[in-house]
Amino acid sequence: MVDKSAAEQVASGVDRQRLIETATALIEVPSPTRDAGAVADRLAEILKADGFDVERPAGGWEKAPAVAVRYDSGKPGRTLQVTGHLDTVHLPFVSPREDGEYLFGSGSADMKGGIAINVEVLRVLRETGLLDCGSILLTAYDLHERPWGDGSQLEGVIEAGYAGDGVLIPEYLCDSLPVAGRGQAAFAITISREGEKVHEVLRPADTPDVIGAGARVIGRFAELMSELGKKTHPHSGTDTIFVGQFESGEIFNQAPTECRLSGTRRWVTPGDGEAAYAELRQLLAEVATATGTKIEADITLSGEAFRLDESDPLVDAFHGGYGAVKGGARLEAGNKLFVDDGNAFYSMRKTPVITHGPAATGAHTLDERVPIDELVRVTQVYALTAIDYCSPT
């Protein structure tokens, strides 16, 4: 149960204008994935100016060291980590602006607005003195957005010991408490044959048909889907295999030498990734043998499947903080639609992670926006969650 006085102090302690200025200062520094060094430096400068001791763990990516701050109450308790990525997708840069209601610009929704929330949480807890046990760990990093990044900097930061007992991630999920999420791998399949490209009427009768082989792969995927649909979870849905691209040939009457298809394989059960890879490779080997083609697959893991134990103390603390800000409302358990950094924390350390952020829109578009009231709300929820969660275990 959140103390009413604490809720009032947090509400009055969140500085709306300071939040806007922090988010704007981050948004105005372009930071496409693999090139977030300048915005990481900007974040470090902001935190240092606020009087926090800033660490810069490389996490295996020396080009743009991550940013970390530890704020310790000085008394025993849990460590709550507030974390997020600084990089943005590779779209034309949109400068920040705000109209009193919304904050616009590249990364405003995904997720520099969220990073500003995390910074404001540190400020509010220090200024109010309400964190009387445990500690807060803030981390921010590059290499999140795929396909340009691979999540390896976060993994390196976690391996270096920058990991809390529980984690909050301010991605733009806000309508439910995501307790389960599917794992995901992206695949790019190349089907090829020996020989040259040739006019269809001049091809030898025994020429392997790469387009036909591609069609057979898709047919086999359809058969596989009927089995995958039996693997279910009440929140995250079912296992799936999906093809979103199919490419081949240069002209309508030429027999090509290559066919390419790409898509995703998703699974609901944590740990099923390796089995999913093996199943896919076996299917492709069978098609290659049957069609006389060569089939190669590049499979990239986006993240393992995710689970959140609803009995974990982090969940209770979050519900308390959320309810205090939302007049007693409670979020229902739901699905985490996308793979985010919470999947990495869960797969590497089984850390409880809650993804909850502002009701932002336009992520991965040129029209990103986040309601300023939502930046304020989530800051309050996070600060109140921390006060409860960081109490002695």
Residues 162 and 277 in one domain: no
Q: Which of 279, 303, 327 is the last residue of a domain?
A: 303
Q: Residues 143, 196: contact at Cβ < 8 Å?
A: no
**pLDDT value, residue 275:** 95
Residues 89 and 176 in one domain: yes
> Which residue ranges in the chain fall short of pLDDT 50?
none
pLDDT digits (tens, 9 = 90+) for 64-118: 999 999 999 999 999 999 999 999 999 999 999 999 999 999 999 999 999 999 9
pLDDT digits (tens, 9 = 90+) for 207-262: 999 999 999 999 999 999 999 999 999 999 999 999 999 999 999 999 999 999 99
Question: Domain range holding 39?
Answer: 4-181+305-389
Q: Residues 136, 121: contact at Cβ < 8 Å?
A: yes
Residues 283 and 338 in one domain: no
**pLDDT value, residue 179:** 97
Torsion of the alpha carbons at 245, 246, 249 and 254, rounded to the nearest 10: -160
Residue in 241, 252, 384 with CA at minimum distance from that of residue 324: 384
Residues 231 and 299 in one domain: yes
Residue in 227, 295, 301, 226 with CA at minimum distance from that of residue 258: 295
Residues 67 and 121 in one domain: yes
Sheet order of strands, 135-141 included: 54-55, 67-72, 135-141, 79-85, 166-169, 353-355
Residue in 374, 333, 288, 311 with CA at minimum distance from that of residue 113: 374
Residues 247 and 346 in one domain: no
Residues 67 and 133 in one domain: yes
Q: Which of 303, 335, 370 is the last residue of a domain?
A: 303
Residue in 376, 338, 345, 352 with CA at minimum distance from that of residue 110: 338
Residue in 392, 195, 214, 207 with CA at minimum distance from that of residue 292: 207
pTM of the predicted protein model: 0.93
**pLDDT value, residue 391:** 86
Residues 22 and 120 in one domain: yes
State the average pLDDT for the chain.
96
Q: Residues 258, 190: contact at Cβ < 8 Å?
A: yes
Determine the Cα angle at 94 with ends 357 and 145, to 5°: 50
**pLDDT value, residue 61:** 98
